[in-house]
Amino acid sequence: MKEKGISLWRQIGETLIGEIRDGALKSGDQLPADIAIAERFGVNRHTARQATAYLESEGLVRIERGRGTFVASDVLDYRLSATTRFTENLLRQRRSPARRVLGMEEIPATESVADALRLKTGTPVVLLTLLGKSDDVPLSLGRNFFPTSRLKGLAEEIQRRAASPDRFSITASLAAVGVTGYRRKRTLVGSRLPDVSEARLLGMARTQPVIETESIDVGDNGVPVTYALTCFRADRVRFSVET
């Protein structure tokens, strides 16, 4: 590692970049610790640390405090449009989608949920929690609220379909109770840090941010059928907005 005019940490970084691009280090793989990199290249730990910091600045790795350094996952382009659908988004990019039902319960609508669904506060709604995966890697965690009074039989339909939890479809569930067409009325996008449960389910560190969407879907008559709060791993997704 003595190429003239190029810093040692940069030479080490370029070597590791080559290994990532060649597939020797794959998406999600953990890099050796700084001390192991230092021993491999015959440098001190400070130089090794500079090399991994360089890879992070290039967006090729993520450093998780207390866990280590990992090769960054492939970023998914997630389309936001009037007909946003999780499964369709992933299939379009040749990814394997799955949605796992984590829980379903009927609860009284909070003020914010009631306002989004045009209900009175306290009106019963179905809360459905889903874990979305891309190629078997966690991508999203969603809390979906449905107005029970407008969607007769939906809770039973969700219960029935939850028997195959990895292939759950909101679109198919709504179609089964008469909502054959619906569209996205509004999507708000923000970012925050995940809580303990979210970080665990998404397989990420609490120091990594999530992108959260707040969305409302309406039926053909313009009346809300779904209100959802969904957090996505910020290192695995970027949004594409259609106009």
Report the C-alpha gap between 76 and 79 in whole angstroms.
9
Say what the pLDDT of residue 177 is. Answer: 93
pLDDT-above-90 percentage for the chain: 57
Most confident of 8-22, 101-115, 153-167: 101-115
Report the C-alpha gap between 235 and 62 in whole angstroms.
8
What are 28-75's pLDDT values in tens digits? Answer: 789 999 999 999 999 999 999 999 998 888 778 888 778 889 887 677
Are 226 and 217 in contact by the 8 Å Cβ rule? The answer is yes
Question: What CATH number does the domain located at 8-71 have?
Answer: 1.10.10.10
Question: What CATH number does the domain located at 76-241 have?
Answer: 3.40.1410.10
pTM summary value: 0.72
Looking at per-residue pLDDT, the higher value among 132 and 1 belongs to 132
Q: Work out the average pLDDT over 119-139.
A: 93
Looking at per-residue pLDDT, the higher value among 59 and 183 belongs to 183
Residue with tokens 């028997």: 163
Q: Residue 88's beta-bridge partner residues? A: none
- Per-residue burial over 166-199, b = 16 or more CB atoms within 10 Å of its CB, e = otherwise: eebbbbebbebbebeebebeebeeeeeebeeebb
Q: Please report, for the chain, the start and end positions of each structural domain, with discontinuous segments joined by +.
A: 8-71, 76-241
pLDDT tier at 3 (50, 70, 90 boundaries)?
Answer: low
Tokens of 134: 């891309």
